[in-house]
Amino acid sequence: MPEMEVETTTTTEIADEKQKKSNNDAIYDPAFLPDMLPVYYRRLFPHKPFYRWLSYGLSEEGIFANREISFTLHDDIYIRYLCFETQIEFERELCNRCPFKIDIGAVMNTRPKNNRVSAAAMAPVQRELVFDIDMTDYDDVRTCCSDKSVCQKCWKFMAIAANILDAAIKEDFGWEHILWVFSGRRGIHCWICDYEARHLDTQGRSAVAEYLQIISHAMGSNGSNVSRVYIGDRMHHSVKRAFQIIEPMFEEVILIDQNLFSSPKGIEKLCQFIPDEMARKETEQFLLNNLEDGAPALKVWEAFKRYAHTMRCNATQSVWSRRLKNIIEEIQLACMYPRLDINVTKGFNHLLKAPFCIHPATGKVCVPFNASAAAKFNPTMVPNIAQLLQEINTFDEKKKNEEETDEKSRIKDYKKTSMFKGVVVFEEFLRKLETGLKAKAVKLNEMRMDF
């Protein structure tokens, strides 16, 4: 819808300006988090949209009341098996306890709080299909940052992963209600909320996870863990679609931003992707002999491609024409295909951090984002809680001396802050989800009437 796009763009520009101004003077100190959380939960946390999401229009019995929620409180006090009957009860408990972290579990067949009485009988009946991708799993292919750090260069790995998964989920499985959330530090979470996805059993979840996991791991000749992909005789259509996203970005991300294959150490890293030991040694020797020390990754990659092509053409019965015939594409996929924590996806009752949590270490909000705009998302510009509270105070101070407005025209607190963009994305996701739920309800009623 064109009007919506114009409005979103304007909102983005305003929010970005707020963030640029606030990031310079709002320093987050974890020691003050216990003092800031009560204000955040009371004034900024989107209680109503959050309830709308997890209640799914109360389309199924116990869908909200039987949902397991866990709180991690100050000093790592962990409370599981919480559940709430209504939005008001959830909001009250949230504001009273002010958790450092909220995790969302499955919808059970009974109230989770009854687990001590009927633990053996309690079982999950539905849960969103989730994916968890962590930047540290890309440490072997990123040079700009490592461990817990993240920047705009390595964020491109996350943006590409979101685009690949989003396309696969929609085109290969037909699911459309997908919520993407920044984890607050260095990763992303994907929540698939379609009815069919929520009702998959453990076997079904495992099948989806395995279908989307094409990377395998092997021990390299230097003792390091190496990510590899094997295409086989023909590239599967899902892998081909992923490759069409990866291939145009490979030079920018791997060869320029990360300069991954530069220097003798980089050449060794490139050759570790080759599964055949003899071919690996010969390739490494060729590149070391024919390239000057410190050659940029772009030059190393071009030399490798020429060498691989020559070997395929000159030795039709060699390993290069059989096992290694797709080695160039396999290396590109191994570097940039989504690196999934498939145990999170397989686990029916795995708890995952909720959207709009505050990450205790960074103070950043776990904000939703659009997969289609993931490349424009800047994790370093995500607001922290200190910044948000400062923005509220600045806004309120500005309006203090102006004529008071009536209750109906009063601005919601989150709209006063740079958190606004994330809430807008969440609201748009909810609008489409609720429209889908209503359409499903109408269809069911028509089928009953026909019967």
pLDDT, tens digit only, all 451 positions of the chain: 333 333 333 444 444 544 444 444 589 999 999 999 999 999 999 999 999 999 999 989 999 999 999 999 999 999 999 999 999 999 999 999 999 999 999 999 999 988 776 656 889 999 999 999 999 999 999 999 988 899 999 999 999 999 999 999 999 999 999 999 999 999 999 999 999 999 999 999 999 999 999 999 988 777 788 999 999 989 999 999 999 999 999 999 999 999 999 999 999 999 999 999 999 999 999 999 999 988 999 999 999 999 999 998 886 668 998 899 999 999 999 999 999 999 999 999 899 999 999 999 999 999 999 999 999 999 999 999 999 999 999 998 887 766 555 554 578 899 999 999 999 999 999 999 999 998 887 776 666 665 5
CATH of domain 30-134+176-211+345-401+408-448: 3.90.920.10
**196 catalytic residue (yes or no):** no
Rounded-to-integer distance, Cα 113 and Cα 84, Å: 9
Count the alpha carbons within 13 Å of 212 in the hemisphere toward its beta carbon: 30
55 burial level (CB within 10 Å; 0-12, 13-18, 19+): middle
* Residue 170 CB burial class (10 angstroms; 0-12, 13-18, ≥19): middle
Tally: H helices and E strands in the chain = 16, 11
Measured at the CA of 432, the angle between CA 428 and CA 436, to 5 degrees, comes to 165
Catalytic residue among 91, 128, 132, 194: 132
Q: How far apart are alpha carbons 187 and 438 in whole angstroms?
A: 33
pTM of the model: 0.90
**SS3 category, 257:** helix
Give domain limits for the chain.
30-134+176-211+345-401+408-448, 215-336
Choosing from 128, 134, 341, 391, which is the catalytic residue?
134
Question: Any catalytic annotation for residue 25?
Answer: no
Residue 76 catalytic? no
Q: Which of 68, 103, 140, 330 is catalytic?
A: 68
